[in-house]
Structure 1
Amino acid sequence: MSELPQPEPESDSQPFLALLPNLVTMIGLCAGLTAIRFVLAGKFELAVILIIFSAVIDGLDGLLARRLKATSEIGAQLDSLSDFLNFGVAPGLLVYQFALAESEKMGSWIVVLVYVSCTCMRLARFNVAQNKAAVTGIKPPPHFVGVPAPAGAMLALLPAFVAFETGAEPAPPLLTGGYLLGVGLLMVSRLPTFSPKSLRVPKAKTGWIMIATALVIGALLAWFWLSLILLTAVYGLSLLHSFYKVFRHGRG
């Protein structure tokens, strides 16, 4: 009597490409940690550049995971934890050290705590929504609810962009603190905000999109801080448009 074939034992290894998105996430995390190091050393421009680099990485790791079909639960958790440090802790500390530290008696640290806490709650709410969509099979809306953490970090860093471009002193602590508080509240708001997933670009327009992307990259290389100011201002205008639509819908 011949023996039945035995199933092969499951391998503990996995292809390197499956690990690549998580490695990219860890690179972004290291960039955020290094940004904090430069904040403590007073090298604010380098710190901002590293936070922006981590924002680029944040978009890249998800794209890689989808292209390589390497999405995983641990990857999602790593991404969320990395986002909290890169777009919550690092920008909060930078704005504090850059513009608010000298006004400690005015409660500036409390504003930073609120901003970082709002980032944490924004990411937690996003994770819950994603898990709920996966369980129920109901697709989430094409727009974001509240300002996403990377966009919130760019908004929070706007006072630094302006100071670096103009060479002027940071805005008064009261103004900067109030602005940072507003950014934090926008992240945990229910305001529908722009998401790239909501874009529907006809194939005939693809060439124009590539040209526009090349122009943006060229502008960043030639006028880095000014381009960041303009891009952040455009996003701010999109938020005003969202407020207007919500107000008009409520009045209607």
Structure 2
Amino acid sequence: MADQPERQPSGEPMPFLLLLPNLVTMAGMCLGLTSMRFVFAGRFEIAVALILLAALIDGLDGLIARRLRATSSFGAELDSLSDFLCFGVAPGILIYQFALSGTSGLGWVFVLIYVCCACLRLARFNVARDDATPGGVKHFTGVPSPAGAILALLPVFLTRSEVMDATAAPMLVALWLGIVGALMISRIPTFSPKALRVPQRWTGWFLIGTAIAVGAIFTRFWLLMVLIDLAYLAMVLQGLVLRRRG
């Protein structure tokens, strides 16, 4: 088909640009691994920042692959393996070390539940990657793993923003991990960036909101992440309501 990338004959050199998306994916995986290193060193802020950066890169590699016509089954599988590490294993270990290490093993059970749900969610995505709504608008089924990781990190955001001390309620944190895991494997239709459309009359307000968000990154970063999590949860609840009505 005309829209499929050409296959490189076996044994012949492959152009560097065709390798670039996979190199970006590997860079994201290295960020996830490095975040765990900082978790074990007690540097939770750096570990969180690396996971968030990995989430940004996760959206970048696919975009690069499509623009360079370098999409492949290998790249898709590599991306899922990287996602499992960065958004399943790394956040689970971070939350355990941050708030659950004193729960006599029960907290670790919820970490395992979260990580297993992330794995199942990614496996399902691999076999249903092209699912779309009847109207043709792309959407995710269940919370995607990068968004799930950001939701799982909500206890860290709440603590660092001084809204509340999540470490004082470890069982609530453990239960929250379980809830996020359930959302990832749920059948709730959730937001996909591909469906984002900004009406022209709202462009000015959208740019102003973006400028405010960028400013908040440098002034009230942790509070901004709390608000982002709450806004995303509101969209998930809206998807749940629409599913029940449907």
Q: TM-score, normalised by structure 1?
A: 0.86
Deviation at 1:46, TM superposition (A): 0.8
String of CA shifts for 1:150-186, please: whole Å, max 9, x gaps.
Answer: 0000000000011111184524111111111000011
Q: Distance in 2 between matches of 1:10 and 1:57?
A: 29
Q: Distance in 2 between matches of 1:85 and 1:23?
A: 16
Contact kept? 1:122, 1:188, Cα under 8 Å: yes
Report how many residues are paired: 235
Match of 2:219 among 222, 244, 250: 222
Deviation at 1:202, TM superposition (A): 3.9
Q: TM-score, normalised by structure 2?
A: 0.88
Deviation at 1:206, TM superposition (A): 4.6
Deviation at 1:244, TM superposition (A): 2.1
Alignment of 1:67-216 (within 5 A): 67-105=67-105, 107-130=106-129, 142-166=138-162, 168=165, 170-203=167-200, 205-206=202-203, 208-216=205-213
Q: Which residue identity is paired with 2:108?
A: W
Match of 2:229 among 217, 229, 232: 232
Q: Which residue identity is paired with 2:229?
A: T
| Larger Rg over CA atoms | 1
Q: Distance in 2 between matches of 1:212 and 1:63?
A: 24
Q: Distance in 1 between matches of 2:63 and 2:218?
A: 24
Deviation at 1:126, TM superposition (A): 0.2
Q: Which residue identity is paired with 2:226?
A: I
Contact kept? 2:140, 2:192, Cα under 8 Å: yes
Q: Distance in 1 between matches of 2:149 and 2:169?
A: 19
String of CA shifts for 1:20-75, please: whole Å, max 9, x gaps.
Answer: 11111111100000001111111111100100010011011111111111111211
1:42 to 1:10, Cα distance in 2 relative to 1, 3 A: closer
Q: Distance in 2 between matches of 1:158 and 1:170?
A: 12
1:70 to 1:203, Cα distance in 2 relative to 1, 3 A: farther
SS at match of 1:89: helix
String of CA shifts for 1:83-142, please: whole Å, max 9, x gaps.
Answer: 00000000000001110010124x111111110000000000000012x76xxxx99752
SS at match of 1:54: helix
1:79 to 1:140, Cα distance in 2 relative to 1, 3 A: farther
Deviation at 1:203, TM superposition (A): 5.0
Q: Distance in 2 between matches of 1:21 and 1:153?
A: 22
1:29 is matched with: 29
Q: Which residue identity is paired with 2:114?
A: Y
Q: Distance in 2 between matches of 1:127 and 1:187?
A: 14
Q: Distance in 1 between matches of 2:12 and 2:36?
A: 36
Q: Distance in 1 between matches of 2:176 and 2:225?
A: 17
SS at match of 2:71: coil
Q: Distance in 1 between matches of 2:156 and 2:63?
A: 29
Q: Which residue identity is paired with 1:172?
A: A
The 4+ residue runs of structure 1 with deviation greater than 6 A are none
SS at match of 2:128: helix
Aligned Cα root-mean-square deviation (Å): 2.2
Deviation at 1:224, TM superposition (A): 1.0
Gaps of 5+ in 1: 1-8
More helix by share: 1
Q: Distance in 1 between matches of 2:204 and 2:70?
A: 29
